[in-house]
């Protein structure tokens, strides 16, 4: 895992966009972002049990697996959004980027690769993209039935209870 401020330069979202200003794991934790590295599924299984994650699936994001919808899907994942549940992803292969908003509403880019696991709290604004290799395989974990409902950023979301809880807990 590598985290840094996103440079906001024009260009393909899949490029590193590394500003050269690093962000520590401790700073990510202050945003509610939890990071682990597990070289085997045993660690993932233990974390899942401790956090009450009973369901999981795997997704491969690549042109080979997704065909003609790949580019459209990658663009949709990159739209700024939040979820009303934690988002937990364990990278099984390839790599990609999660971008999260910090306290100053700046983008922090988190580069993840095989064996990295990230937990994003409910209510955090974020987005995702593959890197320029156009391949990532990830395990998604869920507390209940698998659901992935993105709520795109808007003023209306300021009143969302999950967003309000996130702001009061981490952005006060």
Binding residues are 81, 83, 87, 126
Binding residues for Fe(2+) are 81, 83, 87, 126
Q: Are strands 2-6 and 18-22 parallel, antiparallel or unpaired?
A: antiparallel
58 near 114, Cβ under 8 Å?
no
For residue 108, list its beta bridge partners: 5, 100
- Quickly count helices (H) and strands (E) in the chain: 5, 11
Inter-CA distances, 14 with 25, 80, 129, Å: 22, 15, 6
Closest CA to 90 of 57, 115, 55: 115
Binding residues for Ni(2+) are 81, 83, 87, 126
């Amino acid at each position: 895992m590598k985290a840094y401020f996103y440079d906001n330069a024009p260009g393909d979202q899949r490029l590193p966009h590394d500003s050269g200003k690093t962000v520590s794991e401790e700073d990510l934790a202050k945003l509610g972002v939890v990071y682990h590295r597990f070289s085997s599924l045993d660690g993932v299984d233990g974390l899942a049990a401790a956090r009450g994650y009973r369901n999981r699936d795997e997704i491969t994001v690549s042109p080979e697996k997704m065909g003609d919808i790949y580019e459209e899907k990658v663009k949709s994942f990159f739209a700024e959004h939040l979820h009303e549940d934690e988002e937990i992803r364990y990278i099984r292969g390839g790599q990609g980027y999660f971008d999260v908003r910090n306290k100053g509403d700046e983008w922090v880019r988190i580069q993840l690769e095989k064996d990295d696991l990230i937990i994003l709290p409910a209510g955090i604004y974020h987005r995702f993209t593959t890197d320029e290799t156009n391949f990532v395989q990830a395990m998604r974990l869920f507390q209940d039935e698998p659901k992935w409902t993105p709520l795109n950023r808007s003023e209306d979301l300021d009143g969302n209870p999950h967003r309000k809880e996130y702001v009061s807990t981490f952005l006060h």
